[in-house]
Amino acid sequence: MTVIPLEAYIILSVLIFGLGLFGMIVRRNLVTVLMSMELALNAVNIAFVGADVHLGLADGQVFALFIIALAAAEAAVGLGIIIAIFRLRRVESTDEITDMRG
């Protein structure tokens, strides 16, 4: 069995996290920002699993499962909030949302 070096996991994780961060900063569509956030969370999962493979522990996989559960809850709540904002104000862009009143 060939072992992938830890550096490969970290490089891939940093690249994917950078793409997610870039998407959150540059994009203005709320759904695209949410997808970019999911991409960044998955990059952290890759780093945890890579460290887990390198160290031979199961802790990284446990943390990755928690992050997957957190990302699923965040996607459901975030998408619900985005749909509510769109129905209330008819906006899709983060630039058009200026205040957060109840």
Which is more confident, 30 or 12?
Answer: 12
Is residue 102 in a domain? no
Per residue in 22-34, pLDDT (tens digit) is 999 998 888 899 8
Domain that holds residue 35: 6-89
Q: Quick one: pLDDT band at residue 4, thresholds 50, 70, 90?
A: confident
Instruction: Take residue 10 and report the two structure tokens written for it.
Output: 């970290």
What the block records as the tokens of 76 is 């459901």
25 part of a folded domain: yes
Domain count, the chain: 1
11 inside domain: yes
Range in 2-6, 50-54, 56-60, 98-102 the model is least confident about: 98-102
40 falls within a domain: yes
| CATH number for 34 | 1.10.287.3510
Query: Does the residue 42 lie in any domain?
Result: yes
Residue 78 in any domain: the answer is yes
Tell me the pTM: 0.81
User: What are the Cα distances from residue 35, in Å, to 14, 88, 91?
Assistant: 17, 22, 18
When pLDDT is averaged across residues 64-78 and rounded to a whole number, the result is 89
